Amino acid sequence: MQKYLKAIIALFTFYAVNWVTELLTQLALIFHNPQFITAILTGEYTQEHYGIMHSPEVLGTSYILAAVIVIIFLVNTGVIDKSEMVRTDKIKWVYAIPGIIGMFIFYYAIEFAMTYLFTGVTDIGGSTYNYGIMLSIYLILVCPLVEEGIFRAGVLGNLIKEGMNKWIAVAISALIFGIVHFSWTKLLPTTIFGFMTGWLYIKSKSIVPSTILHILNNGTAILLTFLTANGIHSSMIDGMSNVIITIICIFTLIIATIGTALYAKKK
């Protein structure tokens, strides 16, 4: 029961990141101009207030600080086993790397197909929002570490330690991971992604391989957003026919199957 409680605590800390970030952005607002404390107390924010609080640099810095606070809390309270965050001695990298690459390609094939099916192929690049340096660092490097620590080491790890069947635990943690992204078009891809990273976690007994996979995923998403903002990605995708897209999906599925099969065979 204690491990179940730790899994629940880990899950709630995911939401704590947003709460701490809101607090930090409000402190940034006060630091920028102490007179803004009136807007914070009354909740009457102007466009200027929102501009400061939700600027890429303020948000990025706040999220990084909030993430550090959450990770320290999870490690110090024993919700996350510190060794699982740094353990690399038992990872068979010659098999893990093809598995990571294969899973990454497979996931993007699915997300590509889902986005094309529900929102149109020209929307795949996502928003043209300028993420800035600090927010990009958070999304590419810090966010994967935090989410893998919470959902793999925190939720999945504690469910398994409580005695739950490992594949049921993977499925539960993956579904939760998909749901908390609050996007029905991304529910299937993110759930599958959660299953992939959960599988890597089980095989390696470490969040290092799953974090690498997560970094690849987020880094690619930021890159596509940048390309879209500059008109490169959309024009490239627009020139693809449905046949070419289908061939790419099939090809990536083959690569993913071969890579993960090699990794699983060794294990």
Region of 130 (left: φ > 0; alpha: ψ -120 to 50; beta: rest) is beta
What's the confidence (pLDDT) of residue 173? 92
Residue 261: exposure state from Cβ atoms within 10 A (0-12, 13-18, ≥19): middle
Report the candidate in 154, 181, 180 with the shortest Cα–Cα distance to residue 169. 154
What's the confidence (pLDDT) of residue 123? 40
Q: Which residues of the chain have pLDDT under 70?
A: 1, 94-95, 109-130, 183-185, 227-267
Report the candidate in 261, 172, 174 with the shortest Cα–Cα distance to residue 210. 174
Q: What is the pLDDT of residues 126-171, one digit of tens each?
A: 444 567 788 888 988 999 999 999 999 989 989 998 888 989 999 9
What's this model's pTM, rounded to 2 decimal places?
Answer: 0.78
Report the candidate in 129, 138, 141 with the shortest Cα–Cα distance to residue 228. 129
Please tell me the distance from the alpha carbon of residue 213 to that of residue 260, in angstroms, as a whole number.
13
Please tell me the distance from the alpha carbon of residue 214 to that of residue 201, in angstroms, as a whole number.
12
How many CA atoms within 13 Å lie on the side-chain side of 47? 0
Under 8 Å between Cβ of 9 and 70: no
What's the confidence (pLDDT) of residue 170? 93
What's the confidence (pLDDT) of residue 76? 87
Count the Cβ atoms, other than its own, within 10 Å of residue 172: 17
Residue 118: what residue type?
F
